[in-house]
Structure 1
Amino acid sequence: MADKGPFLTSCIIFYLSIGAAIFQILEEPNWESARSKYLLQKEDILKKYPCLMKEDLDEILKVVSDAAGQGVSITGNKHHHMWDWGNSVIFAATIVTTIGYGNVAPKTKGGRVFCILYGLCGIPLCLVWISTLGSFFGDRAKRLSQVLIRRGVPVKRVQLICTAIFLLWGLFVHLVFPPLVFRSVEGWSYLEGLYFSFITLTTVGFGDYVAGTV
C-alpha cells in the first residue's frame, strides 16, 4: 500500500490538472464574454443617464451586491423569502446531508453557532440513516439472490443480475426520473435537471441551480 501512495498522488495531480485545463477551455470564454457585456452595459447606463456619475453607479451596484449577498432578491418588486419554513427545511437538509448548495447561509452569529451544533449532531444521524438504508437494500438483494439460486441460476449470473437491477434502479430513481420532475415544476431543461440531480447526489452542491428558488 505504501508503494502505491506516490503513484496515486501523481494520478490525482494529473487528473486535477486535466480537469482544470478542460474547465478553463470551456468556461473562460463565457466569463470573458459576460465581463465584457457587463462593462458595456455599465457604459450604456451612464450614457443613457448623463446625470448619473460613475461613482454613483458603482455605489448603487454595491448596494445591490450587498443585498444579494444577504439573500435578498434584487429584481422586481416581489421579494423571495429565503428563510420561510420550506426554505429553512431545505437548508437544514443540506446541512445534515453535507450538500451545502451555498445559495442560503446563516448571516447572524447565533445562526452560525447553531449551524455548527446542528451539523455536529445531524451529520452523524444522517450517516446512520444512510447506513440503515444500505442494509435494508442489501437484505433485499440477498433475498433476491437466494430466490434466483434456488431456481438454479448460476452464482456469477445471480451476482450480475442483482448488481444490474440495483444499479439501474438507483440510476432511474436518482438521475433519470428527477430531471423530468424538475422540468415540469421548475421549468428547467432535462440537462439542467440532470446536472442538478448529479450535483445533489454527489453532495457537491454548487448552488447555481436550487429547486424551489427564483
Structure 2
Amino acid sequence: MTICMRKSNVRLLVLVTFYLLYLVMGALIFSAIEGPQERILVKELQDKRSLFLKQHECLTDEELEKFIAAIVQATNRGISAVRNVTISEPNWSFGQSMFFAGTVILTIGYGRVSPLSEAGKAFCIVYAMIGIPLTLILFSAVVERLMIPTTMFLKFMFRKLGHLYKVFHIQLLHLFIIITLILLFIYLIPAAIFYALEPNWSYFDAFYYCFVSLTTIGLGDYIPGDSPDQQQRPVYKVATTLYLIIGLLMMMLLLAVVYEIPELNIGFHFFMRSDHDEERAHLQPSTHESGLKYSKQIDEDTPATSEYQGVPGFQRTATYQQEAESAEIH
C-alpha cells in the first residue's frame, strides 16, 4: 500500500513541478510580449505630459499630478472622466446594479465597478456568500437536465455508428460536435453582436471578452456598455448578464461531457483512490482463463458494442449495447 501511495505522490510532485514551470513560462512570455508595449506607452504619456505643461505654463507639474491622481482614482472606482461626468448614466442604476450583482455571484468580478461605501462592501460579502453557493446549486441542477438531451444524442450516435467505430471514437465525435456548437453560439455569434454594438471594439476584442468572461477570469479591461454614447445602457447590461449566465451553463455542460470520457479524465491519475485501482489490478491473477485485465486498459481493437466495466467516470449501460446490436441486425 505504501508503494502504491508513493506512485500517486510522485505523479502529484511531477504535476506540481510542471505547474510551477508553467507559471514561470507564462510570466516570461507575458513579460517579453507586453513589456515593450508598456515602455512605448509610458514614453508617449511622458511626451504628452511635457507638451501639455509647455502649452500651459500657468500650470505647475505638482498641480497636474494632483489632477491626474484624482482622475485615476475616480476611474478605478468606476467613474469615467470622459466628457462631462454628469452626462453618463450612474453606475448604480438598476441595469448597472444587476450587471454587477451577476458578476459577483458568477465569480467573474471585473473590478471596474465596486462598492464605494462600507455598508456596500459588507453587503457584497454577505450577498456573495449566499449567492455563489446558490449559483453552483442552480447550475448543477440545470446542467444535470441538459445532460439528458446530450446523452440522448450520444445514444443516437451509438445506434447509427456503434457497429462501425469504437466507443472512444464516437465519444470524441460527440464531444467535437458539442464544442463546435458552443463555439458558434456562445463565442463567435455573441462576439459578432458585441463587435456591432461596441464602437471601439474589434472582433478579436469582442471574442477575447467572451473568452475571459466565460472562463471567469474577468480581467475587466473590456466591459460592454461602458461607452458614453451607448444607447439603452440598462437593457444592454441586463442582456449581457443573461448572456453570461447562459454561457457559463454551457461551459459547465462541456465539462460534464468531457468528464464522461474516461480517457480524457486525466485528473483521476493524481487522486489517491487511483492507487487502490492499481493495487486491485496487480492482484488480478495473470493466468486466469478469462484473461481479466485492469479495467482502465481498454483494448484499441474493441468495437463500440462491447461492454466496458469498472472504468472510472464512464457508465456504460446495457441499452447502448442492445441498441447497437439492433442497429446491426436491421
Pairwise TM-score range, normalised by the shorter structure: over 0.9
Equivalent residue in structure 1 for 2:131, among 122, 129, 135: 122
CA-to-partner distance for each residue in 1:56-107, whole Å, 9 max, x for gaps?
1112112222322332211102334211111111100101110001111111
* Residues 58-137 of structure 1 mapped to structure 2, 5 A cutoff: 58-77=65-84, 78-137=87-146
**How far 1:26 moved relative to its partner?**
0.8
SS of 1:82's partner is coil
Between structures 1 and 2, the one with greater helix share = 1
**Which of 152, 155, 166 is residue 143 of structure 1 equivalent to?**
152
Write the distance in 1 (CA, Å) between the matches of 2:148 and 2:10: 37
After superposing the two structures, state which structure 1 stretch, 123-132 or 88-97, moved more: 123-132
Matched, 1:38 2:45: yes
Larger Rg: 2
Partner of 2:204: 191
Once the 2 structures are TM-superposed, how far is the Cα of residue 40 of structure 1 from its aligned partner?
A: 1.3
Whichever residue aligns with residue 210 of structure 1, its letter is I
Q: Which runs of 5+ in 1 are unaligned?
A: none
Unaligned runs of 5+ in 2: 1-7, 228-330
Q: How many residues align?
A: 214
State the AA in 1 paired with 2:59: L
User: SS at 1:101's partner residue?
Assistant: coil
Contact 1:149 1:158 in 2 (8 A): yes
CA distance in 2, matches of 1:152, 1:165: 15
Distance 1:142-1:130 versus aligned 2 partners, 3 A rule? same
The SS at the match of 2:216 is coil
In structure 2, give the amino acid aligned to 1:46. L
Cα 1:152/1:182, change in 2 over 3 Å: closer
Deviation (angstroms), 1:152:
6.0
Distance change >3 Å, CA 60–CA 140, structure 1 → 2: same
- Specify which structure has the bigger relative contact order, considering alpha-carbon pairs within 8 angstroms and separated by 6 or more residues: 2
Q: Assess, with a 3 A threshold, how the Cα gap between structure 1 residues 83 and 91 changes in structure 2: closer, same or farther.
A: same
2:176 to 141, 144, 164: 164
**Alignment RMSD (CA, Å):** 1.6
TM-score scaled by length of structure 2: 0.62
Which of 205, 209, 217 is the equivalent residue of 1:204? 217
Task: Deviation per CA, 1:111-148: give whole Å up to 9, x if none.
Answer: 11110111111111111122123212211122123334
TM-score (norm: length of structure 1): 0.93
Aligned AA (1:191): F
Q: How far apart in 1 are the matches of 2:159 and 2:15?
A: 43
Amino acid at match of 1:39: Q
Classify the secondary structure of the residue corresponding to 1:169: helix
Q: Is 1:47 aligned to 2:59, yes or no?
A: no
Question: What is the rounded CA distance, in whole Å, between the counterparts of 2:183 and 2:89 in structure 1?
Answer: 33
Percent identity for Structure 1 against Structure 2 = 30
Contact 1:96–1:126, Cα closer than 8 Å, also in 2: yes
Q: 1:44 to 1:131 in 2, by over 3 A?
A: same
Q: Would you say the 8 A contact 1:199–1:205 is kept in 2?
A: yes
| Paired residues for 1:4-23 under 5 Å | 4-23=11-30
Structure-2 separation of matches of 1:130 and 1:7? 33
Measured after TM superposition, the shift of residue 175 of structure 1 is 1.7
